[in-house]
Structure 1
Amino acid sequence: MKIIVLGSGVIGTTTAYYLAQSGHDVTVIDRQPAAGMETSYGNAGEISPGYASPWAGPGVPAKAVRWLMMRHSPLVVRPTLDPNQWRWMLSMLANCNHKSYAVNKGRMVRMAEYSRDVLVQLRRDTGIGYDERSQGTLQLFRTRKQLDGAATDIAVLQQYGVPYEVLDPAGCEAYEPALAKVRGKFVGGLLLPNDETGDCFKFTQKLAAMAQELGVKFRHGVEIRRLSSEGDKVTGVVTSQGELKADAFVLALGSYSPIVLKQIGIHIPVYPVKGYSITVPITDAAGAPESTIMDETYKVAITRLGERIRVGGTAELAGYDLRLHQARRDTLEHSVTDLFPQGGDVSRAEFWCGLRPMTPDGTPVVGPTPYRNLFLNTGHGTLGWTMACGSGRVLADMVSGRQPEIGLEGLFMDRYGRRNKPVLVPGGISVSA
Structure 2
Amino acid sequence: MHILVLGAGVVGTTTAWFLQKQGHQVTVVDRQSQAGLETSYANGGQISVSHAEPWANPSAPLKVLKWLFRADAPLLFRPKPDPAQWRWAISFLTQCTPAKAAHNIRQMVNLGTYSRGKLQALRQETGLEYDHLEKGILHFYTNPAEFDAALEPTRIMCELGCDRQVIDANRAVELEPALKPIQHKIAGATYTSEDESGDARKFTQALAERCRVAGVEFCYGTQVLGFERAGERILGVQVLKNGHHETLRADAYVLSLGSFSALLARQLGLFLNIYPAKGYSITVPVKNEEAAFNVSLTDDEYKLVYSRLGDRIRVAGTAELSGYSRTLNYTRCRAIVRRTAEIMPEAGYWDQAEFWTGLRPATPSNVPYVGKSHFANLYLNTGHGTLGWTHSCGSAAALADIVDGRKPEVDFAFSGI
CA deviation after TM superposition for structure 1 residue 72, in Å: 3.9
SS at match of 1:103: helix
The alignment status of 1:209 with 2:209, answered yes or no, reads: yes
In the alignment, the residues of structure 2 paired with residue 269 and residue 290 of structure 1 have an alpha-carbon distance, to the nearest angstrom, of 37
Partner of 2:84: 84
> Counterparts in 2 of 1:101-120, with a 5 A limit?
101-120=101-120
Q: Give the AA of the match of 1:398.
A: I
In the alignment, the residues of structure 2 paired with residue 238 and residue 283 of structure 1 have an alpha-carbon distance, to the nearest angstrom, of 49
In the alignment, the residues of structure 1 paired with residue 394 and residue 179 of structure 2 have an alpha-carbon distance, to the nearest angstrom, of 33
The alignment status of 1:342 with 2:346, answered yes or no, reads: yes
CA deviation after TM superposition for structure 1 residue 182, in Å: 2.7
Partner of 1:403: 407
In the alignment, the residues of structure 2 paired with residue 352 and residue 343 of structure 1 have an alpha-carbon distance, to the nearest angstrom, of 20
Partner of 1:15: 15
CA deviation after TM superposition for structure 1 residue 144, in Å: 1.8
Partner of 1:423: none
Partner of 1:322: 326
> Counterparts in 2 of 1:305-320, with a 5 A limit?
305-320=309-324
In the alignment, the residues of structure 1 paired with residue 144 and residue 357 of structure 2 have an alpha-carbon distance, to the nearest angstrom, of 32
CA deviation after TM superposition for structure 1 residue 255, in Å: 0.1
CA deviation after TM superposition for structure 1 residue 185, in Å: 2.1
The alignment status of 1:385 with 2:392, answered yes or no, reads: no
Aligned to 2:290, which of 271, 286, 292? 286
In the alignment, the residues of structure 2 paired with residue 185 and residue 70 of structure 1 have an alpha-carbon distance, to the nearest angstrom, of 23
Partner of 1:298: 302
What is the number of equivalent residue pairs in this alignment? 413
Q: Give the AA of the match of 1:40.
A: S
Contact 1:53–1:109, Cα closer than 8 Å, also in 2: no
Q: Give the AA of the match of 2:134.
A: S
What whole-Å deviation, never above 9, does each CA across 1:357-413 have from its counterpart, x for those lacking one? Answer: 0001110000001101000000000000000000011111111222211134x2315
Distance change (3 Å), C-alpha of 1:363 and 1:185: same
Contact 2:371–2:402, Cα closer than 8 Å, also in 1: yes
What whole-Å deviation, never above 9, does each CA across 1:18-68 have from its counterpart, x for those lacking one? Answer: 111111110000100000000000100011011122110012111222333
What whole-Å deviation, never above 9, does each CA across 1:227-261 have from its counterpart, x for those lacking one? Answer: 11111110100111400110000010000001111
Partner of 1:418: none
Unaligned runs of 5+ in 1: 415-433
CA deviation after TM superposition for structure 1 residue 150, in Å: 1.5
Q: Give the AA of the match of 2:371.
A: G
Partner of 2:60: 60
Q: Which runs of 4+ in 1 moved over 2 A?
A: 65-72
Contact 2:299–2:305, Cα closer than 8 Å, also in 1: yes
Contact 2:200–2:389, Cα closer than 8 Å, also in 1: yes
Contact 2:64–2:77, Cα closer than 8 Å, also in 1: no
> Counterparts in 2 of 1:2-401, with a 5 A limit?
2-68=2-68, 72-241=72-241, 242-401=246-405
SS at match of 1:210: helix
Q: Which segment drifts farther, 125-134 or 144-153?
A: 144-153
Q: Give the AA of the match of 2:197.
A: T
CA deviation after TM superposition for structure 1 residue 70, in Å: 5.1
In the alignment, the residues of structure 2 paired with residue 195 and residue 351 of structure 1 have an alpha-carbon distance, to the nearest angstrom, of 26
In the alignment, the residues of structure 2 paired with residue 140 and residue 67 of structure 1 have an alpha-carbon distance, to the nearest angstrom, of 21
Percent of pairs identical after alignment? 43
In the alignment, the residues of structure 1 paired with residue 160 and residue 78 of structure 2 have an alpha-carbon distance, to the nearest angstrom, of 37
SS at match of 1:315: strand
Q: Give the AA of the match of 2:415.
A: F
Contact 1:95–1:361, Cα closer than 8 Å, also in 2: yes
TM-score, normalised by the number of residues in structure 2: 0.97
What whole-Å deviation, never above 9, does each CA across 1:143-168 have from its counterpart, x for those lacking one? Answer: 22122111221221122121121111
In the alignment, the residues of structure 1 paired with residue 88 and residue 375 of structure 2 have an alpha-carbon distance, to the nearest angstrom, of 24
Q: Give the AA of the match of 1:338.
A: E
SS at match of 1:277: strand
Contact 1:280–1:348, Cα closer than 8 Å, also in 2: yes
In the alignment, the residues of structure 1 paired with residue 407 and residue 178 of structure 2 have an alpha-carbon distance, to the nearest angstrom, of 46
Partner of 1:428: none
Aligned to 2:415, which of 403, 412, 415? 412
SS at match of 1:51: coil
CA deviation after TM superposition for structure 1 residue 331, in Å: 1.4
What whole-Å deviation, never above 9, does each CA across 1:104-132 have from its counterpart, x for those lacking one? Answer: 11011111110000001111111111000
Contact 1:73–1:331, Cα closer than 8 Å, also in 2: no
Q: Give the AA of the match of 2:392.
A: A
Distance change (3 Å), C-alpha of 1:86 and 1:71: closer
In the alignment, the residues of structure 2 paired with residue 199 and residue 160 of structure 1 have an alpha-carbon distance, to the nearest angstrom, of 27
Q: Give the AA of the match of 1:399.
A: V
Q: Give the AA of the match of 2:15.
A: T
In the alignment, the residues of structure 2 paired with residue 46 and residue 402 of structure 1 have an alpha-carbon distance, to the nearest angstrom, of 30
In the alignment, the residues of structure 1 paired with residue 388 and residue 213 of structure 2 have an alpha-carbon distance, to the nearest angstrom, of 24
What whole-Å deviation, never above 9, does each CA across 1:174-229 have from its counterpart, x for those lacking one? Answer: 01101112331212201111110000000000000000111000000011110111
Q: CA RMSD for the aligned pairs?
A: 1.2
Q: Give the AA of the match of 1:142.
A: T
